[in-house]
Amino acid sequence: MGLAMKSSLAPSAGDFKSDTIKKVADKIVIDNIDNLDETLRLLGQNNLKSERFAGTMSAAIQFLDDPNLDLADPPQQVTLGLAIFQKMKMNETLLDLHLTDTQQRFFNTLDFLDDIHGTRGALEIMRQQRSDIDIGIKYDLVRDQIETMSQDVVNQPWYIDIVNALPFVEIEPEQDQPMNLGYVQDTVSRLTREYIKLGMDPEPALERAAGDFGKTHTVVGNNYVLNVRGMPQNISQMSDLAVQFFLDQNPNMAALYDEQEIDSSQLGIVNITGSIDLWYLTRDGGYLVRDDRGNFVTYTLNDLKLFAEDAEKDALADTNASIRESAAEIEERDEPNTALEIAAAAAVVM
């Protein structure tokens, strides 16, 4: 009976020999050689390891760890290895199948530091880091300072510098504390740890981490976002317009927010990390917002640009209407009152 029951189930990877599994994984990779997303989807769906992908990522680490690597013209293994990791990092099971813990730490650290320092700067930091430093003990010395700093962001010098560089933004510290403070704390905390690995004392490491965060981030609405190349200068204005568009188009959610006393200042847009092409509408810095149909609200960069263009047209139309109104008032004041003039003339004649 046990054998009969087993035969009625779909076979799993454990039912096949390892060389058969390897051939299946290789066939998936070869059949979808030009479609990395589909390849990883199939590997993940079947919990399969591609020896080819694992070898490529391992080779990429070796090349990236070489100080003589020419990043302007890297070997194909580096380009492909990084691309595979970027697609694979959302699937923890696939990562565990393809990379050791040490390899995962390498890619995760590079991925994190690359946002702040670029690939070259990230690799330079990683090559200088020491493995004999007890990070935990040193980090504990500044843990409370990091939490205090992240909760009082608007009074930090680097935050003021960010805001002063923004057009269309007027900040009132008591009201405009950014909402995604958890992101601020997590990023500064991770940076501090990476700098402690360089042999820096905790407080200078924290000071450098906070400064580097400020240099590489900007304020969009009520959120911090990474200052990606090509970020529109008026992105904060676009955020406000996107929020207003959402409230206008979704009366049910707008009414719900009114009932819950959620102000429009608690809504803002956040981009997909490393991109400016797609933005999510969020509440309180991290909760994704749904529309009246229950779908998460997203905007493309083109959507945001259209909001700004429409706002500019409306502002121009309002300006022109005000000019015409003022001109009409002036013309009316300057036009002679014919009836009064005739009465005055008649009085003179009499």
Structure tokens at 221: 């609405």
Q: Which residues are CB-neighbours of 263 under 8 A, at least 6 positions away?
A: 257
- The pLDDT, as a whole number, for residue 219 is 81
- The pLDDT, as a whole number, for residue 38 is 84
> What are 220's strand-pairing partners?
223
Quick one: DSSP state of residue 335? S
Q: Could you list the pLDDT tens digit for every one of the 350 residues in the chain?
A: 343 333 344 434 444 345 555 666 667 666 666 678 888 888 888 888 888 889 999 999 999 999 899 988 999 999 999 999 998 988 888 999 999 999 999 999 999 999 999 999 999 999 999 877 888 888 888 888 887 776 666 566 666 665 555 444 454 544 456 778 788 888 989 999 999 999 999 889 988 998 898 888 888 877 888 888 888 888 888 999 999 999 999 999 999 999 998 888 889 999 887 788 999 999 987 789 999 999 999 999 999 999 999 988 988 887 887 787 777 777 666 555 555 555 555 555 45
**Contact 178/285 with Cβ under 8 angstroms?**
yes
* Residues counted in the chain: 350
DSSP conformation letters of 102-161: HHHHHHHHHHHHHHHHHHHHHHHHHHH--TT--HHHHHHTTHHHHHHHHHTGGGSHHHHH
**Contact 97/50 with Cβ under 8 angstroms?**
no
Q: φ and ψ at 151, to 5 degrees?
A: -85, -10
d(CA 99, CA 193): 23
- The pLDDT, as a whole number, for residue 175 is 47
- The pLDDT, as a whole number, for residue 99 is 94
